[in-house]
Structure 1
């Protein structure tokens, strides 16, 4: 019949410079995300986040996963690539798999608000 329509293949290309990876495998393909993972792991080691201990027979291993975030400046430019290793806490039992939780993160804006509050209260005390 002489009619020919070429097949068009849809190709999806993701730009990992502007998106957060969804899997560990995606991360390994991009040098900046891979470096962020290495930095996150090194921070855990330097801070002595956890000690390595043998697994008791009556306990189960708690899984972990990497969480990836792009940190941006107020103008929307990428400031840094951040990778964090987090425990899959939904499978933990209090008192068995962990005894305490901590989140030592504080943002600069929080400190500024607290200082502003105390200074404003101090002003009321002086007058």
Structure 2
């Protein structure tokens, strides 16, 4: 957990701001996981910090959502164009 926390601080993941009474604070928690190799032995302990986003309310905490996801077919088309025009 210390390694994960140090990495978050080093990357300047967040900055502290004063709490406004009109804003809803979203809780977070540490999720402890084990990363094992192919033999089943523990390779690394992982502890990502995750936000409890299910406490957010539409129209209060956010107004729209989006996901930066690309369809596999789009990647196939782009790669085929690159290979064809190279």
Specify if TM > 0.5.
Answer: yes
For residue 58 of structure 1, what is the aligned residue in structure 2? 22
Q: Which runs of 4+ in 1 moved over 3 A?
A: 93-103
Residue 75 of structure 1 corresponds to 39
The total of aligned residue pairs comes to 74
Residue 88 of structure 1 is matched in structure 2 by 52
Go from structure 1 to structure 2 and tell me whether the alpha carbon gap of 1:49 and 1:68 turns closer, same or farther (over 3 Å shift): same
User: In proportion to residue count, which structure has more helix?
Assistant: 1
Choose 1 or 2 for highest CA Rg.
Answer: 1
Question: Unmatched 5+ residue regions in structure 2?
Answer: 69-74
The correspondence of residues 18-37 of structure 1 with structure 2, limited to 5 A, is 37=1
User: 1:13 aligns to what?
Assistant: none
Q: CA RMSD in A?
A: 3.2
Unmatched runs of 5 consecutive residues or more in structure 1: 1-36, 104-113
TM-score by length of structure 1 reads 0.46
What TM-score results when the alignment is normalised by the length of structure 2? Answer: 0.65
Deviation for aligned residue 1:66: 0.7
